[in-house]
Amino acid sequence: MSASTATVLHDLTAVEQCAALRDRTVSAVELTEHYLDRIDRLGERLGAFVVTTPELALREAAEADRRFARGDDAHRPLQGLPIAFKDLQPIAGVPVTNGSAVLPAVTAEHDAEAVGLIRAAGAVTLGTTHAPELGIPCYTDTTVVGRPAVTPYDLGRSASGSSGGAAAAIAAGLIPVGHGSDGAGSIRTPAAVCGLVGVKPSRGVVSAAPASSFFGFSTDGPLARNVEDAALLLDAMAVRTPRGLHELAAPASFVAASRRRATRRLRVAVWTDSGFGAVHPENTAAVDRIALMLEGLGHEVVEVANPAPWDTDLVQAFFDYIGGVVSGLLAGLPPAHAQALEEDTRWMKQRGDRLGAADFVKSTTALAAFADRFIAKLASYDLAVSPVSAGVAVPLGSFHRGQSGDAPYRMLEWSAYTPVQNLSGLPAISIPSHVTADGLPLGVQLTGAAIGSDPMLLSVAAQLEEQIGWAQRHPPVWGE
């Protein structure tokens, strides 16, 4: 492959790009320049990036080419592959804002563990992708960037959050794969509205170091255009030798798992009820479509009631917990700075500031019981199928149309299917189902019924991918 074909480099999957780099049919510098050009032309329109690092990227790409020339790539599976990191994790030498114009940007001396593993695997650092302040809301719009992250399928609709910038960038072909993090659906909902695969691994498969919470609800994970590409990135960031909080030894290869097919009949629980009320008919249709495919593949599909429905007390516990965490993170912030926080951060901080220690502990107890119920209800199944969200990608600003303080409740109603996997630690993956008549992508969530069932989940998702054939579906900006 020569520079004359650079305009179609992003048509290749990440796995194919890695193969082309190893075969030296494309150079890492050429590939990096291709993506930097696309970011320059399209990134601002999509609200996808916070910082780009072209000088660093080209230095790392040139070093990757030198390594390839020496044959020094045996232990660097991502060597020369461009990537960007979510603007919430420490990245050595790159400023990270945490989505906040109030808090000072931090240029760390050391990478977060998952970031460092990806970089050690040879990936080229293009910069940071847009994330909301402290990763709180399920939309991505900050004063740091000055425009929202939008789904490339409709520039008037949100790319969701908090990995919205990463999802927008991958879907538009600005990066081949992306690093995300997920504390209550922050990988899966952006993947769903941008037509991508998004993996929330089992708790401990990816290191949380440097851990900021004892409870381990959030985890890093991959976003990609297909299952194999997601598995490739997950392999790079996965824990092999546990030595930290919650860490779990990962299997030898998630890519190999994504290429295997089930050799036994799986028992699959399916539900669409969110516990909050009406679900968009397209989201229900997406689940029905995937359930029929699983039956066609020989698996037993069982319709069940929502195994972990929300109630009023649980909703309050959820917001008490998040509010308590935010209040702790921002303790000591001067009042004038606190007033300048983004609206939803401010709401959470104020809620947390009103809590006593006993209230916070009570919230964690309620959430733990919620997770226990979910795990117990799924114990007789291999996996579960549900919507990722209760609706399609929302028009920009939708969550804040109404009374002040209602937005967090609207966001939870829209994304009610995703937090329990974080609370329970179970693995989950969002996979594309179809595109609506209006051209909006729909995702479906598969949840593994046991911690560590990630390989089975990737295998089933890849088999469904073959049936659906979404890998060549792209938004209008793809060809620009």
Q: Catalytic residues, which ones?
A: 86, 162, 186
Strands (DSSP E) found in 231-331: 267-270, 300-303
**In the structure encoding, which two tokens stand for residue 277, read together?**
């009320």
Cβ-contact 378, 447 below 8 angstroms: yes
Cβ-contact 149, 140 below 8 angstroms: yes
What separation, in Å, do the N-terminal and C-terminal C-alpha atoms of the chain show? Answer: 20
Query: Helix, strand or coil for residue 314?
Result: helix
Half-sphere exposure of 297 (CA within 13 A, CB side): 26
Question: Can you tell me the distance from the alpha carbon of 463 to that of 300, in angstroms, rounded to the nearest whole number?
Answer: 16
413: left (phi over 0), alpha (psi -120 to 50) or beta: alpha
CA-angle at 166, arms to 192 and 460, nearest 5° = 40
**In the structure encoding, which two tokens stand for residue 289, read together?**
């479509």
Secondary structure of the chain: what % helix, strand, coil (to 5)? 40, 15, 40
**In the structure encoding, which two tokens stand for residue 340, read together?**
């300048």
Query: Helix, strand or coil for residue 188?
Result: helix
Cβ-contact 68, 80 below 8 angstroms: yes
Question: Can you tell me the distance from the alpha carbon of 259 to that of 21, in angstroms, rounded to the nearest whole number?
Answer: 22
The alpha helices in 121-251, defined as continuous H runs, are 164-171, 188-193, 227-237
Question: Can you tell me the distance from the alpha carbon of 474 to that of 452, in angstroms, rounded to the nearest whole number?
Answer: 32
CA distances from 478 to 19, 150, 442 (A): 22, 14, 18
